[in-house]
Structure 1
């Protein structure tokens, strides 16, 4: 899940990203986080925090 900061929309938080054990070590979570991070940058997000 990714969401923008309530006090500052330039902040984005990414949390609770889990890959099923049968699909780990294939870069799924990395690809998801990279995609979310890229989209955040295109939407004026200047700070991203992985929780």
Structure 2
């Protein structure tokens, strides 16, 4: 079962990627890789929040 702690872990990971993207020394390929990963993480967080909201309403 999914938990609030798992969601918090993904939110920390998202924060890490956002901080890394602020660095100016990231190469183009590395920056693109971080952007793709951040997009996947953000979609996952959104789905998890929707799931947790549904479970709480049951």
Higher percent of residues as helix: 2
Query: TM-score when scaled to structure 2?
Result: 0.39
Higher percent of residues as strand: 1
Q: Which structure's CA Rg is the greater one?
A: 2
